[in-house]
Amino acid sequence: MNDASNAPAAATGPVRRSRDVPMLVERARAGDPRAVARLITLVESGDEVLPQVAAALAPYAGHAQVVGLTGSPGVGKSTTTNELVRALRARGHRVGVLAIDPSSPFTGGAILGDRVRMQDHATDPGVYIRSMSSRGHLGGLSAATPQAVRVLEGAGCDVVLVETVGVGQAEVEVASLADTTLVLLAPGMGDAIQAVKAGILEIADVFVVNKADRDGADATVRDIQGMIALGERGPGEWRPQVVRSIAARAEGIDDIAAAIDKHRDWLERHGELRRRREARAAAEIEAIALGVLRARIGSLRDGTQLPTLAAKVAEGAIDPYAAAEELLSQLGS
Amino acid sequence: MNDASNAPAAATGPVRRSRDVPMLVERARAGDPRAVARLITLVESGDEVLPQVAAALAPYAGHAQVVGLTGSPGVGKSTTTNELVRALRARGHRVGVLAIDPSSPFTGGAILGDRVRMQDHATDPGVYIRSMSSRGHLGGLSAATPQAVRVLEGAGCDVVLVETVGVGQAEVEVASLADTTLVLLAPGMGDAIQAVKAGILEIADVFVVNKADRDGADATVRDIQGMIALGERGPGEWRPQVVRSIAARAEGIDDIAAAIDKHRDWLERHGELRRRREARAAAEIEAIALGVLRARIGSLRDGTQLPTLAAKVAEGAIDPYAAAEELLSQLGS
């Protein structure tokens, strides 16, 4: 395994010189795990060379299938990811794993967890694993993760698994950047009903009922299938698959892999892969453009223009909308 | 009381014509609660006449003292607010209340709660009460609330209480828009320690230990005073006050009001009121400017430019940063 988890502190320094970027990308292309780690660190930190990194990686975009895995704490995401990596490797794929949200029981509080996972693939040069904070400079998952995916694509990964704990917005975000989204559930956790409420049916391409040897597994599967049956979808639309697994005993993993393949085939056959990726690229471009504009506005904070306008607003001489207009006109916008 | 809680559905329609705005503001100035309700509805919905509303209200900015109240669910925010309104009325103030986050036990699940609160001031024309969702068109508390405060200032309120449940970012946001921030705690809730962790010491101008007849009240007061004693502050800086209350029995409310007055005096004497309001206005201008730019970028979604760029990014022809640059150049930015 290539431990892309933590770049040594020294690695971030010299990289800031832009002439190092092409070399780094070349080394990452050649499979150097340290170069992959450095690039992801640059991406995560919102470094100023980021546009250059992105430019160097652009030609390799779209190579990998991006698979999102989400689910509540305790459903077995880490174990499932681990076994899935094994199954994908057995099929000859190079695999990247981005584990988002270090506060989750697996990726986070759990340096131990990471180590256990690493050990399983410790001798395998075809696997990159990386934990990422969900709070980045650029606003979290949605901003840094697509770039990290590009790095792993650049490094030759055929599949990139993006694992995130299914809480709040994270699961929706992971779905928006994945080609295929797996939602993991476990029997008896009330997840199925929660799932409906949270609109998870909208984002799941494959439901995995893990811990399928537990009481209530049949009921959970039935609940989900009932939900799917009730869901409205057109004739050409994907019908979410339901797969059972017992990841801790490596059971059902091939079924998960098969469901992922099946969905990938469907995406390609229906032109949906292209559509999803273009929508994703559009969102990414918008987010970057907005970040640029935000930075430009922020740069006015230290000048005299914003403080002058603020003083006028505070004393009631003008309203904040008029002040914003004036600020924008000073930006040339 | 002027029930500014819910404007009748019919009220929003005709207001969209911009020539109605000056009339609405005039009526709100004259104390018409329906006009106040309509204006807040416009503000909350991010209506297109918003800049006009802001322009019409600008001259009245800075009239009111804005007091933020925050605390965990169950500390007695609603009861305290209610009694505080009574005390402020007794001092001859006109009072506005903005209760943010309808999911909180008081403002939300609790239409009942609102009604109870309303009833207490039902015959009082000097009180406006309004519940606001924390999820507005423009990004929540930070965007819509300052404008709603302006409406209440325009309506002649001397004090505007902004009440929000102290969870996550909301309490920091409320502090950023208030002249004076009260943090409510109750004995035995572990709040004091939580408070330190959450950096509440940074935002509280006045700590209110409510339910002070409960076991552990002395310990809670001691804990807070200990925290305050440990806090670093320069010679000219405000030292947070600690006040005890039993809001359910209307005890200690005058002490809270006195602490608010004292803080206000301090703010004015140290030029801090002006400084805070200018900082607030600057943040508001930035947020509005960013919203304008976001809308401009969003407007490109329906054109051909963004989809064309997105397709190029998806196929690896260009990188998303270069695409964002091009998008911005097309915006003239």
Rounded to an integer, what is the distance from CA B137 to the centroid of its chain?
Answer: 15
How much is the pLDDT for A45?
77
Nearest CA in chain B to A287: B324
The beta-carbon neighbor of A288 closest among B58, B282, B324 is B324
How much is the pLDDT for B33?
87
Question: Cβ contact (<8 Å) for A321 and B280?
Answer: no
* Cβ proximity of B72 and B137 under 8 Å: no
Q: H helices of A158-205, where?
A: 170-177, 191-197, 200-203
* Residues β-bridged to residue B65: B159
How confident is the model over A197-245, as pLDDT tens digits? Answer: 556 777 899 999 999 999 999 998 998 888 888 877 877 889 999 999 9
Question: Cβ contact (<8 Å) for A316 and B285?
Answer: no
Determine which of A267-271, B111-115, B280-284 has the lowest per-residue pLDDT on average: B111-115
Q: 3-state SS of chain A: helix, strand, coil percent to 5?
A: 55, 15, 30
Q: B8, B13, B53, B23: which is closest to B153 by C-alpha?
A: B53
Phi, psi values for residue B154, rounded to 5° = -60, -35
Residue-level length of chain A: 333
How far does the CA of residue A199 sit from the closest CA of chain B (Å)? 18
Phi-psi region of A234 (alpha: psi -120 to 50; beta: other; left: phi over 0): beta
Cβ neighbours of residue A268 closer than 8 Å, sequence gap 6 or more: none
Burial of B37 (0-12, 13-18, 19+ CB in 10 A): buried
The beta-carbon neighbor of A316 closest among B62, B288, B297 is B62
Residue written as tokens 């036990």? B105
Residue numbers in B near A328 (CB within 8 A): 289, 292-293
Residue A321 has pLDDT above 60, yes or no: yes
Determine which of A152-156, A314-318, B41-45, B214-218 has the lowest per-residue pLDDT on average: B41-45
* Cβ proximity of B31 and B148 under 8 Å: no
Nearest CA in chain B to A297: B286
* Cβ proximity of A43 and A148 under 8 Å: yes
Instruction: Write out the two tokens for A84.
Output: 């899935």
How far does the CA of residue A219 sit from the closest CA of chain B (Å)? 32
The beta-carbon neighbor of A285 closest among B274, B298, B309 is B309
Residue numbers in B near A285 (CB within 8 A): 306, 309-310, 313, 320, 323-324, 327
Of A144-148, B67-71, B174-178, where does the model show the most confidence? B67-71
Question: Cβ contact (<8 Å) for A321 and B54?
Answer: yes
Question: Cβ contact (<8 Å) for A331 and B331?
Answer: no
Residue A116 has pLDDT above 50, yes or no: no
Question: Cβ contact (<8 Å) for B314 and A280?
Answer: yes
Query: What percent of chain A stands above pLDDT 70?
Result: 77
Residues B291, B271: Cα–Cα separation, whole Å:
31
Instruction: Write out the two tokens for A288.
Output: 């970057």
Return the number of other C-beta atoms located less than 10 Å from residue A52's C-beta: 20
Residue numbers in B near A62 (CB within 8 A): 314-316
The beta-carbon neighbor of A285 closest among B50, B286, B327 is B327
Domain spanning A61-270: CATH superfamily: P-loop containing nucleotide triphosphate hydrolases (3.40.50.300)
How confident is the model over B59-102, as pLDDT tens digits? Answer: 988 889 999 998 887 889 889 999 999 999 999 999 999 988 54
Report how far apart, in Å, the C-alpha atoms of A67 and of each of A56, A90, B140, B182 are. Answer: 23, 17, 32, 47
Question: Cβ contact (<8 Å) for A289 and B146?
Answer: no
Residues A24, A98: Cα–Cα separation, whole Å:
20
* For chain A, domain boundaries: 61-270, 281-330
B173 or B209, greater pLDDT: B209
The conformation of residue B270, written as its DSSP 8-state character, comes to T
Residue B288 DSSP SS3? helix
How far does the CA of residue B168 sit from the closest CA of chain A (Å)? 13
Residue A67 DSSP SS3? strand
How much is the pLDDT for A125?
77
Mutation to test the A interface, candidates B313, B326, B331, B333, most A Cβ within 10 Å: B313
The stretch A242-261 carries a mean pLDDT of 96
Return the number of other C-beta atoms located less than 10 Å from residue A272's C-beta: 16
Question: Cβ contact (<8 Å) for B311 and A61?
Answer: no
Per DSSP, the residues of A311-323 read: HHHHTTSS-HHHH
Phi, psi values for residue B162, rounded to 5° = -110, 110
* Cβ proximity of A67 and A178 under 8 Å: yes
Rounded to an integer, what is the distance from CA A88 to the centroid of its chain?
Answer: 18
Residues B216, B205: Cα–Cα separation, whole Å:
22
CATH 3.40.50.300 fits B63-141+158-270, yes or no: yes
Helices B320-330 and A50-57: crossing angle, nearest 10°?
110
Rg (CA), chain B: 22
Question: Cβ contact (<8 Å) for B50 and A321?
Answer: yes
pLDDT band at B248 (very low <50, low <70, confident <90, very high): very high
Question: Cβ contact (<8 Å) for A313 and B146?
Answer: no
How far does the CA of residue B155 sit from the closest CA of chain A (Å)? 15
Rounded to an integer, what is the distance from CA B274 to the centroid of its chain?
Answer: 18
Nearest CA in chain A to B59: A316
Question: Cβ contact (<8 Å) for B322 and A55?
Answer: yes
> CA quadruple B77, B79, B82, B88: dihedral positive or negative?
negative
Nearest CA in chain B to A154: B316
How far does the CA of residue A23 sit from the closest CA of chain B (Å)? 18
How much is the pLDDT for A232?
77
The mean of the pLDDT values for chain B is 81
The beta-carbon neighbor of B314 closest among A61, A307, A316 is A61
How far does the CA of residue A283 sit from the closest CA of chain B (Å)? 8
What ipTM, to 2 d.p.? Answer: 0.78
Question: Cβ contact (<8 Å) for A311 and B281?
Answer: yes
Question: Cβ contact (<8 Å) for A51 and B322?
Answer: yes
Residues A332, B182: Cα–Cα separation, whole Å:
41
Nearest CA in chain A to B332: A333
